[in-house]
Amino acid sequence: MAEDGKLHVVTFPWLAFGHLIPFLEFSNLIAQKGHKISFVSTPRNIDRLPKVASASSSLINFIKLPLPHLDSLPENAEATIDVPYHKLHHLKTAFDGLQTELTQFLKASAPDWVIYDFAPHWLPPIASELGISRAFFSLFNAWTGSFFGSSITDGIASRKSMEDFTVPPEWVPFPSTVAFRLHEIKRFRNTGAEESASSVSDWVRFRSAVVGCDVLLIRTCTELEPEWLELLKDLHRKPLLPVGLLPPFTRISGGEDGDQLNTWHTIKAWLDKQEEESVVYVTLGSEVTPSQDELTQLARGLEQSGLPFFWALRKWHGSAEFHSFELPVGFEERIKGRGIVWTSWAPQVKILAHGSVGGFVTHCGWNSVIEGLQHGRPLLMLPFLGDQGLNARALAEMEAGIEIPRDEEDGSLSPDLVAESLRLVMVDNEGRAYMNKAKEMKAIFGDRNLQNRYTDNAVEYLQKHRHLHKD
């Protein structure tokens, strides 16, 4: 630690842009307090990050560690968006290969803190041996962390069947619907089977991250989920600090290149022609891979709804290994003038901020939820994997939107129910309640001062609780 009391903090996110970007957001906020950041990732990922446009950018040093080559990964694959879902365990294996170089960097730079993600199960003991304080930064909220249970008693092992995950766990002391649907657990089991047979499981990684940390930082705030935060603290018996929701204030303005600006101008021109709060914005994230049938039924539901929509349906990167899709025959012709299917990069935050957008069809990834509710958009929730289903249950409890119904067993969609859900939120009188609730939640999600106070508190904690380095 420098004589002026400033910290040197190493941040080390998992290789997914849904993790890299919040880590960068948090790193930037720490740097704005005058602290030095070493942001560690792979070369291609660092080159693809949005530029940090602030006076603190000189305090952020990007450390590029080359990802070990594996024949099982596509060429130049360094992030989850580069890799088919069923091969993500290979990316985790390559990530684990960063251990030696990261250790050498930590030895040479002797930071005060290392803030790490769920994936590097090997990092906490290394940092401890080097006398470096350790913070696990969870990008999942407290209801998700609580659902999976204690890192001390192994909350996963206590549940033996798939059905055990479809009810709230016994350690939740208050009424809740936060649990998985049966079809979500089936999908999760099917996609994770190969990984569990050949790699360190995500649960083992998560447990190691929590057990080995000095403090658990979490991307949420007390105004949103006070009872879940208390429960999570009790479960892990660790200091627990919410760092705020990190809505994307600092990274949006001024970072686009010429092509991206032209893209936004094209999209904005169409949105400008639509009535206020009339458009349904549809996107299922960059990593969700819906089945062909799910895409077909969603398309038919959008068509049946009669509502204007903007569907960001980004095609995968041209690799034959990635899922391909087809829209119903004649779909784009029939919706011409009312809907747009956009198959390249789209500026999600700017679209959600536009006054013509009234509802948000989302897979319920935490990043997307934050971006939607930051602008007060009611959610039409269509979860697929991981924490998405848990987010959908909790947000439905809060009446921030509704879930688009699926078949409980196989998760299949009905175009009629898709259309009915869209019209309920966007047109029917009953839907005003969801619109109003989402606008209320904007006061939490979109309050920059409120969220920054959480970051300030977290940084103060890091300053007060750093370990003294050995001479």
Question: What number of other Cβ atoms are within 10 A of residue 427's Cβ?
Answer: 15
Q: What type of residue is 352?
A: L
Longest dimension (CA), the chain: 72
pLDDT, tens only, 108-166: 999 999 999 999 999 999 999 999 999 999 999 999 999 999 888 766 667 778 888 99
Lowest mean pLDDT among 260-264, 265-269, 429-433: 260-264
pLDDT, tens only, 286-315: 777 788 899 999 999 999 999 999 999 875
Alpha-carbon distance of 340 to 361, in angstroms, equals 14
By residue count, the chain amounts to: 471
Alpha-carbon distance of 131 to 101, in angstroms, equals 18
Per-domain residue ranges of the chain:
8-247+447-464, 258-445
Q: Answer whether residue 98 shows pLDDT above 60.
A: yes
Is residue 471 classed exposed, middle or buried when 0-12, 13-18 and 19+ CB atoms within 10 A define those classes? exposed
pLDDT, tens only, 366-423: 999 999 999 999 999 999 988 999 999 999 999 999 999 999 889 999 999 999 999 9
pLDDT, position 52:
80
Distances (CA, A) of 48 to 42, 58, 191: 10, 18, 27
Residue 18 contacts residue 287 (beta carbons within 8 Å): yes
Residue 89 contacts residue 110 (beta carbons within 8 Å): no
Instruction: Using the structure block, give the residue that is written with the tokens 């050949």.
Output: 198
* 8-247+447-464 matches 258-445 in fold: yes
The separation between CA 265 and the C-alpha centre of its own chain, rounded to angstroms, equals: 27
Residue 249 contacts residue 171 (beta carbons within 8 Å): no
pLDDT, position 314:
74
CATH superfamily of this structure's domain 8-247+447-464: Glycogen Phosphorylase B; (3.40.50.2000)
CATH of 258-445, one of 3.30.470.20, 3.40.50.2000, 3.10.20.30, 3.30.1330.40: 3.40.50.2000
What phi and psi values does residue 406 have, to the nearest 5 degrees?
Answer: -130, 165
